[in-house]
Amino acid sequence: MINEKYIKVLYVDLSSAKVKVELREDLYEYLGGVGVASKLLLENINSEAEPLDESQPIIFSIGALSSIFPVVSKTVAMFISPVTGELGESYAGGRLAYTMFNAGIDALVIKGKAKHPSFLSINNNIIDIKDARAFWGLTAEKVGQYIRTIVGGSGKRSIMRIGPAGENLCKIANVNVDTYRHFGRMGLGAVFGSKNLKAVQVSGDYIKRPIDHKKYIKVYNEIYNKVTSTPIMSKYHDLGTPINVKVLNNIGALPSFNLQQSSFEKADDISGEYFADNNLVRKMACVGCPVGCIHIGQVRREFDKGHEYETLHVAYDYELIAALGSYLGISDANAILELIDAVEEYALDAIAGGIALAYATECYQKGIITKEQTIVDLLFGEKSGYLQAIKFMATKANDFYSALSDGVYVASKKYGGEDFAVSIAKHEMPAYHTGYGAIVGYACGARHSHLCNGGYSYDQTHRTLDKEKFVNDLFDEEKKRCVLNSLVICLFARNVYDDETILKALDAIGITGYDHEKLNNLGEMIYKVKLQIKEKLGFDLSNVQLSKRVFETPAMGEILDENIVREMIEMFKEKNNKLLLKGLSDGKQGL
């Protein structure tokens, strides 16, 4: 949208193989990203159909600052989640935002279902739906290799692709982006599979520059220096998010053994410090980011009898270490990297996959399920069974693994163990068991993620429970992050891009007329559209599902009271209802 007053939307119908472009002036005020994607999702969803029905859309969108300023490197995907049955929202870095920008696309809407396995190729103005039958069944990495080798494309290229899990409609399947990045959580991989869509390649070489280059460079340099010369983002480059392993373990907030514990006695052996000293081989960055937060670990393993070895390079971060480490009682860093590599191979979501395995292990221990169902022994601390179980989930080896591949909520409804199926609002709980802020934040967040409102962080800075203040602050943060996500700023840089910085950046590329009030109104407007989507799909906070295990295991030393959580959820719901009644029925707040 740079130098323009509209949002360019590319529509692709896989069923009819028809393509069209619309220049949407009415979407311009949303500034791209999650604002535009939310509006397009609301316009295109079929509330009467299942999430994996071919009529349901997938929306991708970048923001007004994408690829123009440092650390504005993400793309948002929005869809109906097959995991929760409601709003699906996910973010990925890599090269995708840059390539969409260079292809001249602000938003992409994909609907329908291809007649056979296919992949979508976008190269500037050339859009093709190509045959993917030759590589249907391949792992995500091999698909990337195939497309890079066989298919051309000018300029930089980004490749989104699914693995066998998405093809098999596993609801916890993700979408791999450029090898080390993902659209994780919420089941976008299954939505791809339901459309016979194996991959999407985007490339382009358009050149777009801000009109006032001198003003732009001045602001760019200010932000670049803020990112690289201050301590604001240093932790992400140094140890990265794995620094949280020791931090959360020390305060009793690290889920372990399927959240039977909130600390792990061998946390030092899977800490960010340990990985850095023993496994780290390089750091990488998304295009347009000077930070380098992607930490690549190396593990050497025997793949055949005799001296037959291979070396794996695997991206790791805190969430993956917790889900495939402490949640499973795994204290071997090399084993964790192997498990991460396995979920990457099949393109299962690492967080949901790890929690599903932890639930299955506890079921197996308690005799709720048998080895006939698990096929292999599932034992806390033992990687071998888990490596095979990942394949069984991705391929739906039997009825049990088919249910497990739909998430712990579905599996526990069918096989039992609901009290220790660790999920909130049917979504596997992130690995932050910090207190009321986290649980209420997960439950009330638009996509039920710790990234919706940062409740886990709020717990650590506000140890005294003030229910009204907690709810008010989480609600305000939810709206604030809608602004950041409309510009699709990496949330690691949320403290870099305060309101003043955002306003200067917008002004530097010719987007004028914004102030603090207008940014706040934008956040409200976007959040309201999300609430309208959830309401249309029948979601009601009063009925939100909460795992009993959350209230049995101490969070930072405190047993949480479910009644207090429910009370705070109702307070949050009241604030949502007031916002839904505010302003015009189409969600505008008077920008």
- pLDDT of res. 584: 46
- pLDDT of res. 587: 42
Domain at 7-204, CATH from 1.10.3470.10, 3.60.9.10, 3.40.50.300, 3.40.50.970: 3.60.9.10
The answer to whether residue 433 scores a pLDDT higher than 60 is yes
- pLDDT of res. 155: 61
* Reduced 3-state DSSP string for 33-53: HHHHHHHHHHHHCCCCCCCCC
- pLDDT of res. 321: 98
Residue extents of the structural domains in the chain: 7-204, 239-417, 427-581
Residue 543 φ/ψ region, left for φ over 0, alpha for ψ in the -120 to 50 degree band, beta for the rest: alpha
Residue type, 219: V
CA–CA separation, 476 and 481 (whole Å): 9
pLDDT tier, 44 (very low <50, low <70, confident <90, very high otherwise): very high
CA–CA separation, 293 and 314 (whole Å): 14
Instruction: Tell me the average pLDDT of the chain.
Output: 95
Cβ of 219: how many Cβ atoms within 10 Å? 20
pLDDT tens for 355-369 read 999 999 999 999 999
Q: Which two tokens stand for residue 52?
A: 């994996």
C-beta separation of 113 from 194 below 8 A: yes
Beta bridge partners of 304: 308
pLDDT tens for 457-496 read 999 999 899 999 999 999 999 999 999 999 999 999 999 9
Domain at 427-581, CATH from 1.10.599.10, 3.50.50.60, 1.10.10.10, 3.40.718.10: 1.10.599.10
CA–CA separation, 469 and 427 (whole Å): 26
| pLDDT, average across residues 385-407 | 98
- pLDDT of res. 302: 79
| pLDDT, average across residues 341-364 | 97
DSSP 574: H
| pLDDT, average across residues 287-316 | 89
Going by their DSSP bridges, the two strands 118-123 and 126-131 should be labelled as antiparallel
- pLDDT of res. 353: 98
CA–CA separation, 355 and 152 (whole Å): 39
C-beta separation of 453 from 441 below 8 A: yes
Q: How is domain 239-417 classified at the CATH fold level?
A: 1.10.569
CA–CA separation, 134 and 151 (whole Å): 13
The answer to whether residue 413 scores a pLDDT higher than 80 is yes
pLDDT tens for 494-513 read 999 999 999 999 999 999 99
DSSP 244: H
C-beta separation of 407 from 83 below 8 A: yes
- pLDDT of res. 463: 84
pLDDT tens for 205-231 read 887 888 899 999 999 999 999 999 999
Map residue 410 onto helix, strand or coil.
helix
Going by their DSSP bridges, the two strands 87-92 and 75-80 should be labelled as antiparallel
- pLDDT of res. 585: 43
- 568-to-438, 467, 520 alpha-carbon distances in Å: 12, 6, 23
pLDDT tens for 541-569 read 999 999 999 999 999 999 999 999 999 99
The answer to whether residue 194 scores a pLDDT higher than 80 is yes
Residue 226 φ/ψ region, left for φ over 0, alpha for ψ in the -120 to 50 degree band, beta for the rest: alpha
CA–CA separation, 372 and 370 (whole Å): 5
CA–CA separation, 342 and 171 (whole Å): 17
- pLDDT of res. 152: 62
pLDDT tens for 1-32 read 788 999 999 999 999 999 999 999 999 999 99
Domains 7-204 and 239-417 alike in fold: no
Map residue 269 onto helix, strand or coil.
helix
pLDDT tens for 131-154 read 999 999 999 999 998 898 877 655
